[in-house]
A and B are shown apart, each in its own frame.
Chain A
Amino acid sequence: MTPLLRIEDVHKEFPTQRREVVHAVDGVSLEVRRGETLGLVGETGCGKSTLARCIARLYDVTSGSVWFDGHDITSSSRRELRALRRSVQVIFQDPYGSLNPRRRVGSIIGDPFAIHGIAAGPERKKKVQELMELVGLNPEHYNRFPAEFSGGQRQRIGVARALALRPKLVICDEPVSALDVSIQAQIINLLADLQHEFDLTYVFISHDLSVVRHVSDRIAVMYLGKIVEVAPTEELFGQTRHPYTRALLSALPVADPDTADSREQIILAGDIPSAVGPPTGCRFHTRCPKAGAVCGSSEPPLEPVLDDGPEHRTACFFPLTIGENLSAAVLKAS
């Protein structure tokens, strides 16, 4: 079966005022399978949102191709995109910025119906109120303005709007990052329930690995515009291959005593390099405790390493073996 979404060698560059080029997404290939949740993690500025917008075709990609449901949508016309919008929806990070402050919640959630000419008048109102109920909002609040809701409720509004047209793929761009921890779980559970009910496929973006671990079937780790490791969730945690992934994991509080012994605290040296002139070779070599001479000159391909199956791919010349301690590498390096 063809994957729901497949992107191949997607690049997205932004020109800056100083005639430089930001390589926000720099050659990403990925597939998203029907019904799964693909987690996408990485530090701030690594290009997660840009990649999400390329997938949703809110941006034109600089190069590469995007395939949705077996169709190449890389250079779809406006008209074709309109149809695509019904199948691919985005839930945005900022529940304050993504809702129009001057419009009533009922019309915001009703927008998809209005835009695609699906329902009008009392019928639209009925559909909107059903949606509100579905996401746990009081349908009587139909006439309220976004400012009259809490952050969590606003994100529910965003979810209702995204689900209105029964999309196949929903891209959740840090849907809970702006919310209180106590509220995060509610929204995540809501998303999980809805996925179950409507057979949704999610791309779930977060910089918080613990959230991603909780919701994802597979996880892709991104660093400076590239995917450095992708694997089924438990494998990524159990058989971490990439030093960067390990560094991200080490920042998590220990939840599982079994893996606690192999846990160490790794603090990455230096800042994340600029996406304007990214490092040559392996992007991570400027901060990597295991970096060798080859790392600065050639780029490691994203492929299965050691004895990993085809599901687990890593872009690293010196992948970690199970049980290997990164701090040992730090010592060796120094």
Chain B
Amino acid sequence: MTAIMEVVEAPQIQGRSPFTLAMRRLRRDKVAMVSLAVIALIVLMAVFAPVFAHLTGHPPNEQYRDTGLTPDGLPRGPDGTFWLGTDDLGRDVLVRIAYGARVSLLVGVAATAITVAVGIVLGLAAGFLGGIVDTVLARLIDVVLSVPFLLVAIALVSVTGPSLTITVLVIGFFSWASVARIVRGQVLSLREREFVEAARSLGAGDTRIMFVDILPNVLAPVIVYTTLLVPVVIVTQATLSFLGLGLPPPTADWGGMINEAQAYYTTAWWFILFPGLALLITTLAFNLFGDGVRDAFDPRADRS
């Protein structure tokens, strides 16, 4: 028998942050984990959209007027060539759904990121600096929250013309206020805590106190809100597209596809069903995952 000398490293003692504990709870949440898997699949679909085009041999914007349409010029149902059927212009629905996922996710992530970044900074400033800054920002938040979003969005897009950038900006502009309001509320009580005074007594300035001392304490509610914001943004983007305010054709996106399919729901069910399902499954997965995140960060929150 050989004696093996094992050099045992002194265990690096790792603190368990509230964040680590929340992640641990989240990992035990089956529904959330299944939703996360679904989200991962959708992300994969978006990333590998060209693979779908390659496998089927159908680029997303290619119109197959001969093979993709019936002799009467109607969309073709699912078959060996067009797995999920074709649309009114003879394009492959499956491939277009895959490409559409890119738009949904991109807008979902980009608009949410802008929203959260702006909301955090303005919420911190309003709550922490107080005074005139707070008065102005609090009014601004009220105003933005009471503006009829769709109306203004329609007006704006009709002026600038539809584009990905304007979609992201419009959604971001109308969503930051809720984040700012959440953050501001938390900061108002946090700034009275003794650790803030301790930081000040060490010589920390306002900016450092806001971002180093206070920000980590508002992250939990922001993370929860963010995960629930993504599906809202995705639906909003689809809504804008559905109203013709999304991306200029021929770019594939789910809201636009549903819009184009409206006229065909009696004759070509697949044309409206599959993009609709894609949208439904995506938002459902994000919502269920968001619920899981909320429960993980606040185990006492009621689940009603």
Query: In the complex, which residue of chain A has the Cβ closest to the Cβ of B195?
Result: A100
With a CB–CB cut-off of 8 A, which chain B residues contact A89? Answer: 201-202
B194 touches A97 (CB 8 A): yes
B208 touches A115 (CB 8 A): yes
Interface residues of A in 60-109 (CB under 8 A from B): 78, 81-82, 85-86, 89-90, 92, 94, 97-105
The number of chain A residues touching the other chain, given as a range, is 20 to 34
Q: CB within 8 A of A148: which of B15, B202, B212?
A: B15
Interface string of B4-32 (1 = CB under 8 A from A): 00000011111111100000000000000
A102 touches B17 (CB 8 A): yes
With a CB–CB cut-off of 8 A, which chain A residues contact B208? Answer: 115
Interface residues of A in 262-292 (CB under 8 A from B): none
Interface string of B193-236 (1 = CB under 8 A from A): 11101111111110010001100110100000000000000000
Interface string of A159-199 (1 = CB under 8 A from B): 00100000000000000000000000000000000000000
Q: Is A145 among interface residues, defined by CB-CB distance under 8 A?
A: yes
How far, in angstroms, from A56 to B198 measured CA to CA in the complex? 11
A143 touches B201 (CB 8 A): no
Q: Is A112 among interface residues, defined by CB-CB distance under 8 A?
A: yes
With a CB–CB cut-off of 8 A, which chain B residues contact A58? Answer: 197, 200-201
A143 touches B213 (CB 8 A): no
With a CB–CB cut-off of 8 A, which chain A residues contact B11? Answer: 140
Nearest CB on A from B150, distance (A): 38
Some 30 contacts from A to B, beta carbons below 8 A apart, are A58-B197, A81-B203, A85-B201, A85-B203, A86-B203, A92-B197, A92-B198, A97-B195, A98-B197, A100-B195, A100-B213, A100-B217, A101-B195, A102-B17, A102-B216, A102-B219, A103-B212, A103-B213, A104-B15, A111-B204, A115-B208, A116-B203, A138-B13, A140-B11, A140-B13, A141-B15, A142-B13, A144-B15, A145-B17, A161-B202
| Chain B residues in the interface with A (C-beta under 8 A) | 10-18, 193-195, 197-205, 208, 212-213, 216-217, 219
Give 8 nearest A-B pairs by CB, closest first.
A85-B203, A144-B15, A97-B194, A102-B216, A98-B194, A100-B195, A145-B15, A90-B201
| Chain A residues in the interface with B (C-beta under 8 A) | 56, 58, 78, 81-82, 85-86, 89-90, 92, 94, 97-105, 111-112, 115-116, 138, 140-145, 148, 158, 161
